[in-house]
Structure 1
Amino acid sequence: MSMKDETITGRLVRLVRERPGYRDTLEKIVKWYDENFKCEGCGSRNLKRVGKHKYKCTRCGYNTIIIGFHTMDIQATPAYLVKLANMGILEVTYRGSASGVYYMPKDIDVIRRVLRLSPREIEVPPPRELSIPDDLFEPIVGYDDLKGLLIDCLKKRVHVLLVGPPSTAKSMILQEIARIDGSYFALAGTSTKAGLRDVIVEERPSILIIDELDKIYNPNELSILLTLMESGFITVTIHGRRERVYVNTVVFAGANTTRKIPPELLSRFLVIRLRPYTEEELRKIIVNVLVRREGISEPIAKYIAEKVIIEMGSRDPRDAIKIARLSGNDKKKVDGITRILKRYKES
């Protein structure tokens, strides 16, 4: 690209960003060009100009007459076309007293480049009001002050990262937040084959919940997340054009460590470090979850907690939930399932 082209491109980019109407006009010009600038004989776009309105196809040799487009052809504001012609973007190819003025792009690639550099921004909608359940975080033992802070972060759209080793409350907190309407829960690295961008654009979640954030290694995924948290915009390609889509999303994430999280991404979060639960606290959590969420009687819930913590040596409440769903309130089934799980437990 020549210095002159760089100057024209820069001027046009500024014009498009300051006055969005020019972007609409450029898009209409590209659409007209793609539909009309082709050989009438074979349909090829490889045309060489051999006269004012005559173009010769380099593929089949056919001569095609293309006068250009009129303001009515693309439904454009005449003043915009005059401005673009004065800037050297358009060429006046015909001027008639009755029919008016016809134009052709001098370099369609310059216009395409400007559209790529100036993605369309949609109007920013107001944030959706979250409907937070009254019993949010009830199964979680302790952290009463933190629960209130997290609710404030949800309401005021503050991104939060919960950090701590296994057997802390971070995953349970994230699972509780996932109960809120409009949330989307993603396990890092397994969101979808389409990737985080498509999940965000298609789901438009009010709350994006990411467990194991420290296991996202793809730089593109990290870049998308950083852009979302910084501006609320996601850039997508629609019909060959880049468009900026606004997604009013707050991010809640969990991680075992912050060592592998890029500093620029980490700085966007309110980072909260959690300590591991004591054995007694873990018992209370398991009983709370099984009684309140799984419909298990308290005696059986306590029995499952002992089986999981003592016999299986697990500190993960999710193991207790799995056993409860398989056994219900049947103590013999609890014993049988625990025995099988111990036998086939990974070493």
Structure 2
Amino acid sequence: SSHSSTHYKVADPPLVREAIQAMSEPVSPPEREIPGDLFDSIVGYPDVKTLVRYALEAEKPAHLLLSGPPASAKTMFLLELRRLPQSYYALAATLTAAGLADILFVYEPRFILIDEVERLSPEHIGVLNSLMATGIVSETKHGKTRELELDTRVFAAGIRVEKLPQDLLSRFTRLHFAPYTEQEFIEVSQRVLSTRENTSMDNAEYIAMALWRLHEQDADVRQAVQIARLSRGDRQR
């Protein structure tokens, strides 16, 4: 009969459902590799660059804390790491009350980069501690709890990091930065301004030397960037 049919019994219905679901889900593009020029704009610190790369490539999360005086390239390392896919940069002082938890729930970053980490609020410290200890982020609001498990690496930077709780500090590998010398500051300013701000090497050197005369070891490459943008190559501005 044209209306006859043959019926088959599926041996493992849950497995079939999983297979169908997997076929219907969009295929995620492969993650980009670590850029070959990562950290090229940073002068010196070869050991730190090596350790950060080890942390990036580690099979399980490894967390690094960069500490040291102002203008010692800590933030530059975080901004370079910001180039990685699935990374999120946050300035601790600007986070809202639920900011860190919301970032983790919404973006599920593979790398969380926290600058001025010693300025985190107690609530944020609790979230970070749980993430680093267990990989779990949990939050209760209005009687409802949400929870998420992540494979996130934490890279943080700060000046007075000893203000942080000891249990949080113990979860980091700490790397201490010495301040730049005058020659190193000039070199890194030239490299950053020429590659990122299209500033001539001569003008970059002029800006860096002027900043060093004013501030010496407190001179900051971020100040050099601002001056380059304001002056637009005109030394009389």
Measured against the shorter chain, the TM-score band is 0.7 to 0.9
Structure 1 vs Structure 2 CA RMSD: 1.9
Answering whether residue 114 of structure 2 is matched by residue 210 of structure 1, we say yes
Q: Does 1:144 align with 2:22?
A: no
Matching of residues 78-157 of structure 1 within 5 Å: 129=31, 131-156=33-58, 157=61
Q: How far apart, CA to CA, are the structure 2 residues paired with 1:155 and 1:130? A: 13
Distance 2:89 2:191 in 1: 22
- 8 Å CA contact 1:201–1:247 kept in 2: the answer is no
- The 1-side partners of 2:233 and 2:196 are apart by 14
Q: Does 1:281 align with 2:184?
A: yes
2:221 aligned partner: 317
- 1:200 to partner: Cα distance: 1.4
* Partner Cα distance (2:126, 2:115) in 1: 17
Alpha-carbon separation, structure 2, partners of 1:273 and 1:209: 17
Equivalence for 1:342: none
Q: Deviations over 1:10-41 (max 9, x none)?
A: xxxxxxxxxxxxxxxxxxxxxxxxxxxxxxxx
Q: How many residues align?
A: 205
Aligned partners of 1:236 and 1:129: how far apart in 2?
29
Q: Aligned residue for 2:63? A: 159
- For residues 280-302 of structure 1, give each alpha carbon's deviation from its aligned partner in whole angstroms, at most 9, with x where no partner exists: 11111111100111111111111
Instruction: Report the Cα distance in structure 1 between the residues aligned to 2:130 and 2:161, rounded to whole angstroms.
Output: 19
Aligned mates of 2:90, 2:144 — CA distance in 1:
28
SS at match of 2:162: coil
Assess if the C-alpha contact under 8 Å between 1:236 and 1:245 holds in 2.
Answer: no
| Counterpart for residue 170 of structure 2 | 267
Identity between Structure 1 and Structure 2 (%): 40
Say whether the 8 Å CA contact 2:97–2:123 is kept in structure 1.
no
One-letter amino acid matched to 1:233: I
1:236: which partner in 2? 139
CA drift at 1:247: 2.3
1:160 & 1:183 partners in 2: Cα distance?
15
- Partner of 2:126, secondary structure, is helix
Q: Is the 1:234–1:244 contact (alpha carbons within 8 Å) kept by the matching residues of 2?
A: yes
Q: Give the direction of change, closer, same or farther, for the CA distance of 1:294–1:258 in structure 2 (3 Å limit).
A: same
Letter in 1 for 2:35: P
Q: What pairs with 1:217-228 in structure 2 (closer than 5 Å)? A: 218-228=121-131
Distance 1:239 1:282, change over 3 A: same
Q: Which residue of 1 aligns with 2:193?
A: 290
Please name the residue that 2:80 is paired with. Answer: 176
Q: CA deviation at 1:208?
A: 0.6
Q: How far is 1:267 from its partner?
A: 0.8
Conservation of the 8 A alpha-carbon contact between 2:48 and 2:175: no
Query: What is the CA–CA distance in structure 2 between the aligned matches of 1:323 and 1:133, rounded to whole Å?
Result: 28
CA distance in 1 between counterparts of 2:208 and 2:95 reads 31
Gaps of 5+ in 2: 1-29
Instruction: List per-residue Cα deviations over 1:87-126 (Å, max 9, x = no partner).
Output: xxxxxxxxxxxxxxxxxxxxxxxxxxxxxxxxxxxxxxxx
Per-residue deviation at 1:308?
1.7
Contact 1:166–1:256 (CA under 8 A) maintained in structure 2: yes
How far apart are residue 312 of structure 1 and its match?
5.8
Q: Which has the larger radius of gyration?
A: 1
From the superposition, tell whether residues 130 and 232 of structure 1 become closer, same or farther in structure 2 (CA, over 3 Å).
Answer: farther
SS state at 1:245 partner? strand
Higher relative contact order structure (alpha carbons within 8 Å, sequence separation ≥ 6): 2
